[in-house]
Amino acid sequence: MLLTPLRRSLLRAWLYVGALVALVLFAPSAYWQAVHGWPFVAIMRVDLGGESLALTPLAFIRQQVAFVGPLAAPIWIAGLWRLSVRPPLPAVRVFPIAYAVMAPTVFAMHGKAYYLTSIYPMLLAGGALTVDGWVAVAGYRWAAVGAVAVGGVLTASLVLPILPPATMQRTPARSERRPSRQRLRRAPRVCCLSTWPTCSAGARWRNT
């Protein structure tokens, strides 16, 4: 951001007002973390320590496509291009800059692939502008909207907590190779925040 004209935004008071509002919204979560021993910090230590199951570059990319839906992938990729090269407003160029920085950072730090999902609405909006300019016939535009919507419905069960865990284990879809039993024994147990007081980040997998 400092390398672009967007650095002028740092002189605007509304930026810091927004940061204050974000801090207020984050305060309840920070309080819960503090009361329960900062579980998210412990989880991040596991990720940074290389103990989590790392994705290959191809698996990481596949998950990004799956989160939004394969049919929507051309839309957000077009939005990434549009907001980078021909943004409707100079300020929105911050989104492709953020994506270019955060995507390799999350991958290199063995972060969860879904950490990037919050940026896709902006990229989809940029892609919609691109499609609107490319497709002149209104019927084709609605066809594109329908294809994206249908694709989202079909992939929702793979990326959203809709199905029970037992059902998900029986699905053939996999975003990465299934780890070996020996590797699972070395990996830390995944603890839900709701059960954190009784689940230690250092717990190990058991042979079951």
> What percent of the chain lies above the pLDDT cut of 90?
18
Q: How sure is the predictor about 187, in pLDDT bands with cuts at 50, 70 and 90?
A: very low
Confidence (pLDDT) at 201: 43
**Mean pLDDT for the chain overall:** 76
Q: Which residues pair with 188 in a beta bridge?
A: 204
- Residue burial 187-208, b: 16+ Cβ < 10 Å; e: rest: ebeebeeeebeeeebeeeeeee
Confidence (pLDDT) at 182: 46
pLDDT in tens, 102-135: 999 988 887 788 888 889 989 988 988 888 887 7
Between the CA atoms of 22, 156, 78 and 132, what dihedral angle is there, to the nearest 10 degrees? -100
| pTM, entire model | 0.65
CB 141 within 8 A of CB 132: yes
